[in-house]
Amino acid sequence: MRTWGRLLAWAGLMAVLGLLPLLVGWSNLSDPLAIHWGIGGSPDNAWPKNAAALLPISMVAIGLFTTSLFRIESKPTAEAFAMVGLMGGLGFSLMVSLVYLNWDAPTWQEAGAFTWWQLVAVLATGALGAWIGYVLGIRRYPRPETSESVAGPELELGDGETVSWIGGCSVKWPLVLLGGLALVFFLMPGWWKLLGLAFVVLGFLFLWVYVVINSHGLQVRLGGGVPVKRIPLDRIKTVQAIDLEPSQWSGWGYRVVPGGSAVVLRRGDAIQVNMTNDRRFAVTVDDAATGAALLSGLVTRLRSDDSY
Amino acid sequence: MLIRLDPRSDKPIYRQISDAVATSIEDGTIDPGERLPSARSLGDALDVNMHTVLRAYSQLEEWGLAEMRRGRGGVVVSSGANLKGMAKQLVGQARRQRLELGELTRLVEEAWN
């Protein structure tokens, strides 16, 4: 329990923050109060006052459960703090809007209209909450540094021999996920169809990744041969084969995280390159050990050539 | 798939490529049904001419390991001679027939000569 104490305290704080607007406005609110607004902005549903108190609490609880408690992990992550911050921020600003619109309304039907700027303010507060949560979390629970100068095994290279490794991996999930989204958008009118097309292209890109390692360094191409990354040998410090966990790179696809980037098509075998500028890059490939060993060998050969 | 090319070897480059690809097919790095990289991209990766790669691929076709399909490039069609797997089968069969290891190796030697 002690390990999770800080995250729970952060969640508790966010829940209390979400309750504050309701407590402040309690005597000025009608019972029941308007809780939901229709597309036109006028209230279309009401809840008893004390049930409204459950809203911020349950939002924070959802944030807590989706990121941490359902996952078997030994420690909380910065993402969990960010998620709780996001839900807490959304909950707080929703409650502020709720109290503001219901303030002194004789009945819930006479509550004020929900406007676009309020929606923007709610989303912005959510983003702010997520950011604060992330900053709090990353300080206490920095990302596991599997990398630094832990170099993997090296492949022996003969003099004058050119050795290349061609690898990659392919997956099916973009077909299902993005194809489904594309279908939804194709059913929509007008310009939304273009968004559908964009999803088809994105889905196609992430069907497979093709990686070449040779004396020029590392090259990564996505589906259709679209080049996305090229790292010359002289910018590489160490290389290792890792067991990539998508949550450590914040998900699937082309990920940019603090201190690095990654092409993530699936969980598991991947090559991680630690660069001389202290950034890292990872790409999921089958038989990562062979590719990583070759890249290590090539980097070592380049360095020993330089030292003559 | 790891491809080592030694320009000082007596073996021509195309043959070094086809040998390396064949090894990858035989040890299961590339499975039957998988596509080979296009001749152009493999040529780029190896710093050799595309036609050298095409020549290597037609060698693989001759060996019955891959097939060149119009518009689709090379496709691996056979897992090749998986000698390790075949040896295991052979040993299993020999054990069931209660053959001694010496008798089995004698059989192999006979076949070899």
Q: Identify the three-state secondary structure at position A88.
A: helix
Q: Count interface pairs A-B at CB distance under 8 A.
A: 49
Q: Using CB atoms and an 8 Å cut-off, which of residues 2-41 of chain B contact chain A? A: 2-8, 29, 37, 41
Distance in angstroms (rounded) separating the CA atoms of residues A43 and A34: 6
Whether B37 is covered by a domain: the verdict is yes
Taking contacts as CB-CB distances below 8 angstroms, the residues of chain A near B29 are 287, 290
Tally of domains in chain A: 2
Q: Which domain holds residue A22?
A: 5-140
Taking contacts as CB-CB distances below 8 angstroms, the residues of chain A near B4 are 158, 161-163
CB atoms within 10 A of CB A152: 17
Taking contacts as CB-CB distances below 8 angstroms, the residues of chain B near A163 are 2-5
Tell me whether A35 touches chain B (CB under 8 Å): no
Interface test with A, best of B4, B19, B44 (most A CBs within 10 A): B4
> Do residues A24 and A121 share a domain?
yes
Whether A24 is covered by a domain: the verdict is yes
> Do residues B68 and B91 share a domain?
no
By CA distance, what is B34's nearest residue in A? Answer: A170
Tokens matching residue A106: 């004789």
Q: Among A4, A148, A146, A137, which residue's Cα sits nearest to residue A73? A: A4
CATH number at residue B38: 1.10.10.10
Distance in angstroms (rounded) separating the CA atoms of residues A39 and A141: 41
Residue-wise pLDDT for B52-98, tens only, equals 999 999 998 888 888 888 776 788 887 666 667 778 888 888 888 88
> Do residues B90 and B105 share a domain?
yes
Instruction: Check B42 against A162: CB less than 8 A apart.
Output: no
> Do residues B68 and B42 share a domain?
yes
> Do residues A21 and A113 share a domain?
yes
Tell me whether A169 touches chain B (CB under 8 Å): no
> Do residues A10 and A135 share a domain?
yes
Phi-psi domain of A41 (left: phi exceeds 0; alpha: psi -120 through 50; beta: other)? left
Convert A127-151 to b/e letters by CB count within 10 Å (16 or more is b): eebbebbbebbbeebebeeebeeeb
Please tell me the predicted confidence (pLDDT) of residue A188: 64
Whether A198 is covered by a domain: the verdict is no
How close does chain A come to B94, measured CA to CA in Å?
Answer: 34
Whether A187 is covered by a domain: the verdict is no
Amino acid, single-letter form, for residue A290: T
Distance in angstroms (rounded) separating the CA atoms of residues B79 and B24: 10
Over range B24-36, report the average pLDDT: 83
What's the order of all strands across the beta sheet hosting A280-284? A236-244, A268-275, A280-284, A260-264, A253-257
> Do residues B39 and B54 share a domain?
yes
Convert A38-74 to b/e letters by CB count within 10 Å (16 or more is b): eeeeebeebbebeebbebbbebbbebbeebbeeeeee
Interface test with B, best of A155, A163, A166, A220 (most B CBs within 10 A): A166
Higher-confidence position of B13 and A259:
B13
Q: How much of chain B is helix, strand and coil, in % rounded to 5?
A: 55, 10, 35
Whether A131 is covered by a domain: the verdict is yes
Please tell me the predicted confidence (pLDDT) of residue A147: 47
Whether B26 is covered by a domain: the verdict is yes
Whether B2 is covered by a domain: the verdict is no
Distance in angstroms (rounded) separating the CA atoms of residues A203 and A265: 11
Instruction: Check A166 against B7: CB less than 8 A apart.
Output: no
Contact A18, A88 (CB under 8 A): yes
> Do residues B37 and B71 share a domain?
yes
Tens of pLDDT along chain A (308 residues)? 566 788 889 999 999 999 999 999 888 888 888 888 877 778 888 888 888 888 888 888 888 877 655 454 556 777 888 889 999 999 999 999 989 989 888 888 888 888 888 888 999 999 999 999 988 888 877 765 554 446 677 888 877 788 999 998 988 877 776 777 667 666 666 666 777 777 778 788 888 899 999 999 999 999 878 899 999 999 999 999 999 888 788 778 888 887 889 999 988 899 999 999 889 999 999 989 999 999 999 998 888 876 55
> Do residues A15 and A92 share a domain?
yes
Instruction: Check B3 against A163: CB less than 8 A apart.
Output: yes
The owner of tokens 């502020």 is A96
Tokens matching residue A45: 């549903």
> Do residues B48 and B68 share a domain?
yes
Whether B4 is covered by a domain: the verdict is no
Distance in angstroms (rounded) separating the CA atoms of residues A55 and A37: 15
Amino acid, single-letter form, for residue A228: V
Whether B7 is covered by a domain: the verdict is no
Quick one: DSSP state of residue B35? Answer: B
Please tell me the predicted confidence (pLDDT) of residue A172: 82
The owner of tokens 């998986």 is B82
Please tell me the predicted confidence (pLDDT) of residue A75: 67
Please tell me the predicted confidence (pLDDT) of residue A80: 83
Tally of domains in chain B: 2
Please tell me the predicted confidence (pLDDT) of residue A72: 44
> Do residues B60 and B23 share a domain?
yes
CATH number at residue A270: 2.30.29.30
Q: Identify the three-state secondary structure at position A187.
A: coil
> Do residues B23 and B59 share a domain?
yes
Distance in angstroms (rounded) separating the CA atoms of residues A164 and A216: 10
Q: Name the burial class of residue A85, with classes exposed (0-12), middle (13-18) and buried (19+) by CB atoms within 10 angstroms of its CB.
A: buried
Tokens matching residue A51: 């049930």
Q: Using CB atoms and an 8 Å cut-off, which of residues 230-259 of chain A contact chain B? A: none
Quick one: DSSP state of residue A43? Answer: E
H-assigned helices in chain A:
5-25, 49-52, 54-64, 78-102, 116-140, 173-186, 192-205, 288-306
Please tell me the predicted confidence (pLDDT) of residue A1: 52
Q: Which domain holds residue B88?
A: 83-112
Q: Among A267, A268, A273, which residue's Cα sits nearest to residue A217? A: A273
Higher-confidence position of B26 and A239:
A239
Distant-in-sequence contacts of A149-154, Cβ < 8 A, 24+ apart: A149/A237, A149/A238, A149/A274, A150/A238, A150/A240, A151/A238, A151/A239, A151/A240, A151/A296, A152/A238, A152/A239, A152/A240, A152/A241, A152/A289, A152/A292, A152/A293, A152/A296, A153/A289, A153/A293, A153/A296, A154/A293, A154/A296, A154/A297, A154/A300
